[in-house]
Amino acid sequence: MKRATLHLAMASMVVLALLSGCKGSPDDAATTDKSATRLHGGSSNGDFGPPQGAPIDAILTSPPMVPPATGRTAPAKVVVKLDVVEKEMEISEGVTYTFWTFGGTVPGSFIRVRQGDTVEFHLRNMPESKMPHNIDLHSVTGPGGGAASSFTAPGHSSRFTFKALNAGLYVYHCATAPVGMHVANGMYGLILIEPPEGLTPVDKEYYVMQGDFYTAGKYREKGLQPFDMEKAIDENPTYVLFNGSDGALTGDKALKANTGETVRLFVGNGGPNLVSSFHVIGEIFDKVWFEGGTKFQENVQTTLIPAGGAAMMEFHVEIPGSYVLVDHSLFRAFNKGALGILKAEGAERKEIYSGKEVDYVYLGDRAQPNMAAVASAAKAADAGALTQADQIEAGKALFAGTCSTCHQPDGKGMAGVFPPLAKSDYIAADKTRLPNVILHGLQGPVKVNGVDYNSIMPPMSQLTDDEVANIATYILNSWGNPGGRISKEEAAEIRKTKPANASEGH
């Protein structure tokens, strides 16, 4: 593009700065080291002329990975080929959902180009698809963001071209009616339009995207779960997730970094309904490019990411350990799945932080390496072949997250506060007391093994009937308790009747 115009723009900004006479305002501070970015800001400054050289095939990555920097200094023609794939995947251990995806993952493939690039977009809808789909990229200047020109029936492919005039981090999503449903099924992802000078190199870059999901069954209710339109309209999600599944970023799949490194997160929010209060427990964002735009804010604890919006953030990692990514609307994090881990390795720095892992306190059951036992018990139950041993294995994993915080991993409780479950005469007197207490809680005086307690246990009615049955069966067969078994049908019956000593909550 014409250098003269650029220089003019530059000159007029200098004049403006001089005229306003302000110096060192936070606004200035935020832009000085990247002033070039601002000069290229706005779509009228983003056309650097026709593409140069041979067309380039875009490198697309699946979450949580991010394609490498374009490393280019001139505008290019970039060819993006994205496939729409409808497929059944796990939304949680033992729970599946028919996702509609861009590139076979939720969120869809990450696309990275440079401002001024001409993007030739090919959208292919797999022949196996049942629905037509299209794509609206928020980075497109033009009506519909590409939606009308990309409407693609199953087994077809469409093509359209746009010039990336504005730098920034943008959401793309399907915009086929009913749009909310296509988005709720996972049809969204991120496209980064690098500023012409590129982004400052960092050690690690990751791609994380939040979304809310609406299933007919409860949270973690096993089996293939259909979409629930009523819940979606009421904006009452069953799951709120990072990267499309409960546990997509925990256990072995946690994000990784080393101390001394700078991590950059590209975080989007597909919605369709919720706004995210994105936070990393134990870190402070050194910089946040809020709303995915050009300016950054510094020293931020929690950043708001609107539905259909994004943010870019950087932080330097000083201390090894687990950092927990959450939506700080906390019931979403701990009861609907909006939780991920960044695991940092390296040497301790006691002068900054004294140590002692807090994973467990925050994570509960997600601190477990895997919940495979829970999934295999669910499968066995479906097949009508659930054994007591399956139930005990599954119950053990669930107990670790749900009950052990108070009753302790060895079931011995805590003197004067939490009664023991180990060799409990209260449990031995009537095995149905277990599912009863789990589902309805317990309050008021209770005597266990000759010791009086008078406290409150909250009801754990968020657990499914299977889960209640498995935890109860595990406890009955552990630590000197009398043995026996609770079935999911018994749990379902007990759920319906509320005893007099139930505690508040439901």
| In the block, residue with structure tokens 């139950």 | 381
Residue type, 126: M
- Cα 467 to Cα 19, 176, 439, 462, 488: the distances in Å are 68, 38, 11, 10, 8
What distance in Å separates the CA atoms of residue 118 and residue 298, rounded to the nearest whole number?
33
CA angle 448–454–460, rounded 5-degree value: 85
What distance in Å separates the CA atoms of residue 261 and residue 315, rounded to the nearest whole number?
8
Concatenating the DSSP letter of every residue in 269-332 gives EEESSPPEEEEEET--EEEEEGGGSS--EEEESEEEE-TTEEEEEEEE--S-EEEEEEESSHHH
Residues that contact Cu ion, how many (by CB under 5 A):
5
**195 forms part of the interface with ligand HEC (CB under 6 A):** no
Q: Which range binds Cu ion by CB under 5 A, 152-160, 178-186, 367-375, 401-409?
A: 178-186
What distance in Å separates the CA atoms of residue 131 and residue 153, rounded to the nearest whole number?
7
Q: Which residue is nearest to Cu ion (CB)?
A: 174
What's the min distance (Å) between Cβ of 335 and ligand HEC? Answer: 14
**199 forms part of the interface with Cu ion (CB under 5 A):** no
**183 forms part of the interface with Cu ion (CB under 5 A):** no
Output the six-digit token pair for 104. Answer: 């076979």
Sign of CA dihedral 213, 218, 219, 223: negative
Q: Which does 146 bind (CB under 5 to 8 A by kind): ligand HEC, Cu ion, none?
A: none
**391 forms part of the interface with ligand HEC (CB under 6 A):** no
Q: Which does 133 bind (CB under 5 to 8 A by kind): ligand HEC, Cu ion, none?
A: Cu ion
**406 forms part of the interface with ligand HEC (CB under 6 A):** yes
Output the six-digit token pair for 120. Answer: 């030739």
DSSP 10: H
**337 forms part of the interface with ligand HEC (CB under 6 A):** no
List 176, 277, 464, 473, residue binding Cu ion (CB under 5 A) = 176
- CA torsion 481-405-277-24 (nearest 10°) is -170
**426 forms part of the interface with ligand HEC (CB under 6 A):** yes
List 200, 405, 447, 451, residue binding ligand HEC (CB under 6 A) = 405
Instruction: Specify the residue, 176 or 225, whose C-beta has the smaller distance to Cu ion.
Output: 176
- In Å, how far from its chain's centre is CA 426? 41
- CA torsion 446-451-454-455 (nearest 10°) is -100
| In the block, residue with structure tokens 């060799």 | 423
Q: Which does 442 bind (CB under 5 to 8 A by kind): Cu ion, ligand HEC, none?
A: ligand HEC
* Binding track, positions 282-321, relative to Cu ion; x by CB under 5 A: ----------------------------------------
**367 forms part of the interface with ligand HEC (CB under 6 A):** no
Instruction: Specify the residue, 270 or 411, whose C-beta has the smaller distance to ligand HEC.
Output: 411
What distance in Å separates the CA atoms of residue 499 and residue 360, rounded to the nearest whole number?
32
- Judged by CB under 5 A, the chain residues 114 through 153 that form the site for Cu ion are 133
**408 forms part of the interface with ligand HEC (CB under 6 A):** no
Q: How many residues does the chain have?
A: 506
**242 forms part of the interface with ligand HEC (CB under 6 A):** no
**420 forms part of the interface with ligand HEC (CB under 6 A):** yes
- Cα 150 to Cα 23, 74, 142: the distances in Å are 47, 27, 13
What's the min distance (Å) between Cβ of 410 and ligand HEC? Answer: 13
Output the six-digit token pair for 304. Answer: 């708001």
**428 forms part of the interface with ligand HEC (CB under 6 A):** no
Output the six-digit token pair for 3. Answer: 């250098």
What distance in Å separates the CA atoms of residue 371 and residue 388, rounded to the nearest whole number?
17
What distance in Å separates the CA atoms of residue 241 and residue 155, rounded to the nearest whole number?
30
Instruction: Specify the residue, 133 or 138, whose C-beta has the smaller distance to Cu ion.
Output: 133
Q: Which range binds ligand HEC by CB under 6 A, 292-300, 301-309, 315-323, 437-445?
A: 437-445
**418 forms part of the interface with ligand HEC (CB under 6 A):** yes
Instruction: Specify the residue, 185 or 424, whose C-beta has the smaller distance to ligand HEC.
Output: 424
List 174, 288, 317, 378, residue binding Cu ion (CB under 5 A) = 174
What's the min distance (Å) between Cβ of 449 and ligand HEC? Answer: 8
What's the min distance (Å) between Cβ of 102 and Cu ion? Answer: 9
Residue type, 316: H
**394 forms part of the interface with ligand HEC (CB under 6 A):** no
Q: Which range binds ligand HEC by CB under 6 A, 45-53, 97-105, 214-222, 436-444?
A: 436-444
What's the min distance (Å) between Cβ of 277 and ligand HEC? Answer: 25
Report which of 274, 403, 400 is spatially closest to residue 332, judged by C-alpha positions: 274
**173 forms part of the interface with Cu ion (CB under 5 A):** no
DSSP 54: S
* Binding track, positions 441-480, relative to ligand HEC; x by CB under 6 A: -xxx-x-x----xxxxx--x----------x---x-----
Residues that contact ligand HEC, how many (by CB under 6 A):
28
Q: By three-state DSSP, how is residue 159 classified?
A: strand
Site residues (vs Cu ion, CB under 5 A): 133, 174, 176, 182, 187
Site residues (vs ligand HEC, CB under 6 A): 402-403, 405-407, 418-421, 424, 426-427, 434, 437-438, 442-444, 446, 448, 453-457, 460, 471, 475
